Amino acid sequence: MNRLENPISHALRRRSFLAAACILPWLAGLAPAMAVQAATGSPGAKPWAYVGPQYIITAEVAGARSFVINFINLSDYVIVVQPNEFIYKGESERYYIGQVYDQESKDNRGESFRYSASVLLKGRSFTGLTVLGAFLEQDRIAELSVRIGAKRFYLEPLEKVAFEQLAAKIGDLDLQSPNPRAALQEAWLEDLGRVRTTDGTSEWDRDWQGLLQPDGLNLPKIIEKPPIQPTEEAVKARTYGRVRLSALITKNGGLEDLKVDKGLGRGLDERALDAVKNSWVFLPATRNGEVLEGRIAFEVDFPPPAK
């Protein structure tokens, strides 16, 4: 009888390749998620979980712009999980959406890329994924959900101790049981979270409609933008404001065709270009489960000094 080798417990104790190596080879799909360093997560962030007869889903903050998501598919069917189906609401009422999985993918020609935007998960199997995005308020999450097919699964926040207990029970789960409900009961796993099914109207997803373009495009995102110091010439001339830039973001998150659309002069345009090239971090666009190249327009702010 094949049981889970407690992958979530491994993740809690030591998110490292060493811990992942302790998992049986047929569970190697979780290894990328296990590699995330726990120390980079938000100290006040809680883990989240959903438990039901079809799926078990867990989510933990892994870093300033990332979450580790574990999917356990108890059904007989293949499912598709996409990063832009991961959405949470902060206490400010603002919604945040996943951008890409930090997992290598290949196109139809066999060319490799750093990120992926779609993962197939077979029935009676599981995987661990790191989802990246322009995330904020990770320690102040009011609601967190993941969509699979026509259903959206709302996870529940847990205290660390409760999450560890859940992970221990998951370790006793018989993934190959022909009766998922009975398997959950045998492992003393109770239902957790709730499910909403689309009613075919736009009301169902009205809260996060603005996160994607009408055609489903998830625009490129900036996830790291350290402040840029003005030039001495600009300070002496008291030249402040915003430099407008645009660029093509490649499938690997690289910058191409970076240019100034509206500058300020006094060396600020060149300073902005150089800093964005060397210190800002971008994520590529996605649509319909594919990573795409896409243009992005943005501004670099040079504010006046604080009084």
Residue holding tokens 């009975």?
182
CA distances from 249 to 89, 108, 260, 266 (A): 27, 20, 15, 27
pLDDT of residue 305: 87
Region of residue 4 (left: phi > 0; alpha: psi -120 to 50; beta: else):
beta
| DSSP-derived 3-state class of residue 273 | helix
Identify the pLDDT of residue 5: 55
Of 105-109, 157-161, 262-266, least confident by mean pLDDT is 105-109
What is residue 204's predicted lDDT score, i.e. its pLDDT?
65
Does the pLDDT of residue 7 top 60, yes or no?
A: no
Q: What is the pTM of this model?
A: 0.87
* Range in 106-115, 231-240, 251-260 the model is least confident about: 106-115
Confidence of residue 34 (pLDDT cuts 50, 70, 90): very low
pLDDT given at position 51: 98
How is the chain split into domains, by residue range?
7-211, 221-302
Residues in the chain: 307
Query: What pLDDT shows up at residue 22?
Result: 32
| 32 compared with 150, residue with greater pLDDT | 150
What pairing do the DSSP bridges indicate for beta strands 156-157 and 48-51? antiparallel
Coil vs helix vs strand at 4 = coil
pLDDT tens digits, 107-122 = 788 889 999 999 999 9
Beta bridge partners of 196: 152
Instruction: Note the CATH number of domain 221-302.
Output: 3.30.1150.10
Residue 227: predicted pLDDT: 93
Q: Are 38 and 56 in contact (CB under 8 A)?
A: no
Residue with tokens 């093509």: 248
Task: Give the amino acid at 289.
Answer: G
What Cα–Cα distance (Å) separates residue 210 from each residue in 8, 94, 223, 293?
33, 11, 19, 20
Supply the pLDDT for residue 72.
96
